[in-house]
Structure 1
Amino acid sequence: MSVNCLIAYCSMSGNTEEIAETIGEGIRKAGANVDIKDILMVDVKDLLDYDGILLGAYTWGDGDLPDEFLDFYDDMDQISLKGKKAVAFGSCDSSYEHRGGAVDRLTEKLVELEADLVLTGLKIDLSPTEAEKEQCVQFGIDFVEKVGLGD
């Protein structure tokens, strides 16, 4: 059985994109398929076509989602993710009071839509270090193992 995961993200400086790509490496290592797409290239109904959903965003302003994620976020109310395995991730900046607020908002939305959260959201400060890249790969592997998607 071929299992498919979607990583949908938005990135301004490239940090969240790098995190997404590195998590994708882990998903592939664990034996699952993964599509990695910019959030502007994803329709909310596309989420229904995947077994595993990983949403990534950098945190903007006072713990907010970035503008380019807002339409998608609002459109998510049109669907139910009941039975879908999901998690959120993103780049953060610990110098702000609401570190990783976008990850928290996405996590709350996934819960609201009845997705099955299989891991705690991943927050990486700015650009991932080598150790954090290893953490991202492991996050992808863990995601696949938690949902039983591996070979």
Structure 2
Amino acid sequence: MANIVLVYASMTGNTEEIANAVAEGIQEAGESVVVKQVLDATAAELAEYEAILLGAYTWGDGELPDEFLDFYDELDQLDLTGKKAAVFGSCDSSYEHYGAAVDILTAKLRERGCEIVSEGLKIELAPSDEERELCRAFGRQFVSALQPAR
């Protein structure tokens, strides 16, 4: 049984919808996941888990949302070597830097020692029914990436 945490930030509910669908995919794959909003989590908690998923919308023209800034800064104090991770987020193509928060968080997790097991999932605004299935598939794929090679 993998020990998975999913931490996200959502202003309008779009990233929350994505997070919920990713969590459903994890559960469909037979694993459980602890889901937390970023304001209810600390980066230090990530050390307690084997696998980490972060979700954030991109603010402004390519920045992390304000509520993720303290968490992001706290990551600098952690050694996450050996942990598997992936990042997702709600994006808006009307901005120059599409889904930059996903890229920023992926780079930080990699810098802290995580093995990034899936390319970042970027969904335009609120997920459609088809995109919700992509999110569930992302969750299932994440679980399969945690399984030891046979």
Find the aligned partners of 1:32 and 1:82 in 2 and give their Cα distance: 22
Q: CA deviation at 1:52?
A: 1.0
Aligned residue for 1:85?
A: 84
Using the size of structure 1 for normalisation, the TM-score is 0.96
Aligned residue for 1:73?
A: 72
SS in 2 for 1:6: strand
Paired-residue identity, %: 55
Structure 1 residues 112-127: aligned runs within 5 Å: 112-127=111-126
SS in 2 for 1:109: helix
SS in 1 for 2:96: coil
Deviations 1:46-100 (A, max 9, x none): 1011111000000001100000000000000010110000011100001111010
Q: CA deviation at 1:136?
A: 0.3
Find the aligned partners of 1:37 and 1:88 in 2 and give their Cα distance: 14
Runs in 1 of length 4+ with deviation above 6 angstroms? none
Structure 1 residues 96-135: aligned runs within 5 Å: 96-135=95-134
Q: CA deviation at 1:33?
A: 1.1
1:10 equivalent in alignment to 2:6: no
Aligned residue for 2:39?
A: 40
SS in 2 for 1:54: strand
Listed as ranges, the gaps of 5+ residues in structure 2 are none
For the aligned residue pairs, the C-alpha RMSD in angstroms reads 0.9
SS in 1 for 2:35: strand
Listed as ranges, the gaps of 5+ residues in structure 1 are none
Aligned residue for 2:50?
A: 51
Using the size of structure 2 for normalisation, the TM-score is 0.96
Aligned length: 148
SS in 1 for 2:136: helix
SS in 1 for 2:110: helix
Find the aligned partners of 2:22 and 2:58 in 1 and give their Cα distance: 18
